[in-house]
Structure 1
Amino acid sequence: MIDNIEMVREIGRGGFGRVFLVKDEAGMYYALKKIPHDKSEHYGKELSALKLYHKIKDKIPNLIPILDIKINNLEISYIMPLADGVDETDPAFPEWRPKTLTKLIAQKCENGGIFSAGDAINVFSPVFKAAEALNKEGIIHRDIKPDNILFLNGEPFLSDIGLMKEDDPGVSSAGTPTYTPPTWYTGNPDMWGLAATLYFFLTQNPPDTIGRAKYIFPKAKDKMSAADIAALRHFHRVILRAMRENATERFIDMHDFFMAFSDIEERNKQSAKLLDGAIAEKSTSIFLTSGRIDRKTFSAAYWFIYIITNIFTSLLVDLGSTPTYAFVGIFFIWPMVTILSKRAHDANISTKTAICILIASRALGIANAYFFYDVENFVKLIAMLCIELFINIAIFAIFLSFKPTNGINKYGVCAQKLSFF
């Protein structure tokens, strides 16, 4: 195949060699890497890496395929599929550039955007699987970084096998500074490289800022949903564990690292379909569970319904209809508890806090009655409020019997069951 291609132009170069855009007889574009023999050290490393690749090429998912290899006394050449472009520009044009993770992050920065938890899962799951499969075969990549994650037909692939080596006690770290572990980091260099790359992807900040409060979030944090902020904090904990100085405190292997990373997938299944795309943030009614209730919306909605309830209370007290009040009161309790339980879910409010809020609201009703009603109606209202409070607590007791499902806690489950409001 290599002997029947047409050289178009150079599209990249590094310490080891150069990469060219080439075209076959059918007009299909490919990438051709050349490593000259005069760079004997690099030539030898690339040759060793290619031999390892040949042994494991059918066992590693999402490792860039090598379609043909040619080795002679002058150089090593091998041909690979051409990566996607950063835009729709035809590869024949000089301005065409391959789509790497670095380019993807740069585009997001330029647009003032951020990556969601779903984006992180979509991009990094295949890379984790490639690194995990390599490690299982006793091989380490040693150069995992944003520039070496290419996209083919929209799917991320781990590329540049030049530093790939069999894992043994004497193997050393190599690769690019900041993505290569420091000397005190004894262990798997691929774990460090992946953690550093993930950090850069999520925060758009260089890896040497890890652990500094100012750089925990991207500059466009204000565009992040509450779910994405929670997910980012989870990812940070995973990243910091992978980079701990004490090797015994890190993940056992790449599989455990991946499981901890993707745990957010289970936690957020109901609020986000992470494997299918970004977290879904919808503009919905406050009573629907597909959106999130912020503090201001919660306060406004809850107290609006509370005031309406008390207006009806006043009318019903005047009418002297305790049974009618109880019936109408239950009708208003349901949406109040729906809002409260949904807010409890979104803000991690404890059960005790939620019940205290209900009791406090009823206490306000009693105080109101004390100042505005005569003794007879006051006693009647106290009885009504006690009934309502009992119903409130009974509803919460029912809610507490619900089991968490699909990563959503019992508050979210009860809110879903009440979403007909």
Structure 2
Amino acid sequence: MIDLKPALLCIGRGRPNETRHGWLLINDPTVSRHHANLNWVPEQNAFYYEHVSQTNPSRIDGNLIRTSQDLGARNQLNIGTHIYLLERKAVDVEPPPSEAETLGAAQPPDSALEYTLQLLPNGFTEFLKKGEANTLGMGVHVNWDPFTNGFVLKVTPGARATLSRNSDQQDEARAVSGQAVLENGDVITVDFCQFRFRRSTPGSTNTETIKLAKDSDSLIRGFSQVKLVGQGTFGQVFHMKDHAGASVAVKFLSPHLLLNEEAQVRFKNEATVALSLKHNRLLRVFDVGEAEDGRMYIMSEYLPNGTLEDKIQKAGKLPTMAVLKVAHEISQGLEYLHAQNLVHRDIKPSNIFFRDGQAVLADFGIVKGSDLMTATRSGFTAGTPHYMSPEQFRGFTEPRSDQYSLGAMLYEMLAGRRVFDAPDPIALAYMHVHQAPDPLLPQCPGAPEMLCLMIEKMISKKPSDRFANMQAVKGAIEHIAKDIKKRARR
């Protein structure tokens, strides 16, 4: 029998005889590390059940639960292979426990605590603020949660992060889906970086190890910062101006990656490749270097007119000639890139900018050589799942992989929806590898049949079923545009 207190109770998988305050731990392989929460609602004087796991189910009174459900005076909970009977009894209810009781030990008042994240092994320390979203990577944040009176790690669908806890006997990292309440000493792994979460009294943090990144306003001599215009997993992009008022875009390696060797190698690769490329349909890069705080940067032209993603979000479906125009311009850039024996590997609407009304391809952070010997086999697959080719999910790329991604982007422009859509990258991978896309023509009344067939050929599952190269794609685009103009003159 378990006496439930009117407070948050986390439910998850644990080892035999393992205890953790505030948790109901179940030794059952069919229970997730963080399976569910029992949340106390004072206004209703009752609990509600919040299902957290994305892989293992929960049932209440025999019914499958996917999100949350209010609990009554008597419910049967099926968690893994275990069955619990929740029953309200007529006994005196104790008042809600204090934070000190919830944590299992006396703690100073919250106003006397400070919360930090330190980049491991000996990197800079950042003080966490309750009113802000503290970003660790794309879709990974540490936020203050007033309900639990603590910081929680939040991971959005499609993002990846793991958490290891000192109380775990083997310090085993577990993947986090949704959110997890952070405890003192927890280690969060995001991308290539590890951060240790600390809760301490002011003055107990070793401030000699703190190295906060400088404001980018004075990082490059002769340039001043205007505003932050973009942020990703690896970098931050600022609009900056020189003394004459000329605008540039400057991409810095993210501060939390200053000590990460693999991230620095990847950023250097992007800088080297970008500086070497000279083509009108590719972003113009002027300079690469090292800023005052030691961060590498890439300085390029500033293109303020938005991205293709902005146009798609605003308009939904784009006109046929607009689709053909972007397709032709990006195919030119890719033809040049492939001639240099390079594969972009991340063709998507947010990487397409506009210069004087013409499309420009940007972001060379994961460009690789096109031979199979340089393919990605590092345990994770580079790219953006909604636009990745089947072979890219399997860990290798070639020039026709870019063709697939371009085709997926054109499909979205013409149909107003993505080829495949799912919140889970694993589900997206299955769709791209195994599932046939919906035919384009029924979704696009009035669109040329030749254009629909061209795009469907570009997103064939097998590279051998696609066009032989970007020159052939460009030729098909030109033929379709010419045919449309010819028909219009009749």
> What interval of TM-score do these two structures reach, taking the shorter chain for normalisation?
0.5 to 0.7
Count residues in correspondence.
246
Instruction: Tell me whether 1:115 sits opposite 2:336 in the alignment.
Output: no
Q: Which amino acid aligns with 1:13?
A: Q
- Range moving further from structure 2, 253-262 or 141-150: 253-262
Instruction: Tell me whether 1:178 sits opposite 2:396 in the alignment.
Output: no
Following superposition, the deviation at residue 40 of structure 1 comes to 2.9
Hey, what's the Cα distance between the residues in 1 that align with 2:301 and 2:417? 30
Unaligned segments of structure 2, at least 5 residues: 1-218, 422-434
Instruction: Tell me whether 1:70 sits opposite 2:289 in the alignment.
Output: yes
Give runs of aligned pairs for residues 94-113 of structure 1, distance below 5 A. 99-109=306-316
Residue equivalent to 2:329? 126
Following superposition, the deviation at residue 29 of structure 1 comes to 2.4
Residue equivalent to 1:84? 304
In terms of fraction of residues, the more strand-rich structure is 2
Structure 2 residue corresponding to 1:201, chosen from 397, 403, 413: 413
- Seen in structure 2, the aligned counterparts of structure 1 residues 211 and 202 have a Cα distance that, compared at 3 Å, is farther
Identical positions, percent: 24
> Contact conserved, 2:343 with 2:367, CA < 8 A, in 1?
yes
Structure 2 residue corresponding to 1:32, chosen from 250, 264, 276: 250
Residue equivalent to 1:53? 274
3-state DSSP of counterpart to 1:208: coil
Residue equivalent to 1:317? none
Instruction: Tell me whether 1:247 sits opposite 2:454 in the alignment.
Output: no
| 1:132-188 alpha-carbon deviations (Å, 9 max, x no partner) | 110011011111100000112222100011111222213136211121222368643
Q: Which has the larger radius of gyration?
A: 1
Following superposition, the deviation at residue 9 of structure 1 comes to 2.0
Q: What is the TM-score with the length of structure 2 in the denominator?
A: 0.46
Q: Which amino acid aligns with 2:469?
A: D
- Seen in structure 2, the aligned counterparts of structure 1 residues 29 and 101 have a Cα distance that, compared at 3 Å, is same
Structure 2 residue corresponding to 1:42, chosen from 236, 239, 263: 263
- Seen in structure 2, the aligned counterparts of structure 1 residues 267 and 7 have a Cα distance that, compared at 3 Å, is same
Hey, what's the Cα distance between the residues in 2 that align with 1:27 and 1:265? 40
- Seen in structure 2, the aligned counterparts of structure 1 residues 169 and 30 have a Cα distance that, compared at 3 Å, is same
Q: Which amino acid aligns with 1:266?
A: K
Residue equivalent to 2:356? 153
| 1:396-417 alpha-carbon deviations (Å, 9 max, x no partner) | xxxxxxxxxxxxxxxx5xxxxx
Give runs of aligned pairs for residues 291-370 of structure 1, distance below 5 A. none
Structure 2 residue corresponding to 1:6, chosen from 208, 217, 224: 224
Hey, what's the Cα distance between the residues in 1 that align with 2:439 and 2:269? 42
In terms of fraction of residues, the more helix-rich structure is 1
Hey, what's the Cα distance between the residues in 2 that align with 1:43 and 1:105? 33
Structure with the greater relative contact order (CA < 8 A, sep ≥ 6): 1 or 2? 1
| 1:44-83 alpha-carbon deviations (Å, 9 max, x no partner) | 112123223333x23x331100112113682211212211
Structure 2 residue corresponding to 1:191, chosen from 375, 380, 403: 403
Structure 1 residue corresponding to 2:477, chosen from 247, 261, 267: 261
Q: Which amino acid aligns with 1:268?
A: I
3-state DSSP of counterpart to 1:21: strand
Following superposition, the deviation at residue 2 of structure 1 comes to 4.3
Unaligned segments of structure 1, at least 5 residues: 86-98, 273-289, 291-411, 413-421
- Seen in structure 2, the aligned counterparts of structure 1 residues 163 and 212 have a Cα distance that, compared at 3 Å, is closer
Q: What is the TM-score with the length of structure 1 in the denominator?
A: 0.54
Q: Which amino acid aligns with 2:282?
A: L
Residue equivalent to 1:21? 239
Hey, what's the Cα distance between the residues in 2 that align with 1:2 and 1:259? 44
> Contact conserved, 2:275 with 2:288, CA < 8 A, in 1?
no
Give runs of aligned pairs for residues 361-380 of structure 1, distance below 5 A. none
RMSD: 2.5
- Seen in structure 2, the aligned counterparts of structure 1 residues 46 and 189 have a Cα distance that, compared at 3 Å, is farther
> Contact conserved, 1:61 with 1:126, CA < 8 A, in 2?
no
> Contact conserved, 2:344 with 2:367, CA < 8 A, in 1?
yes
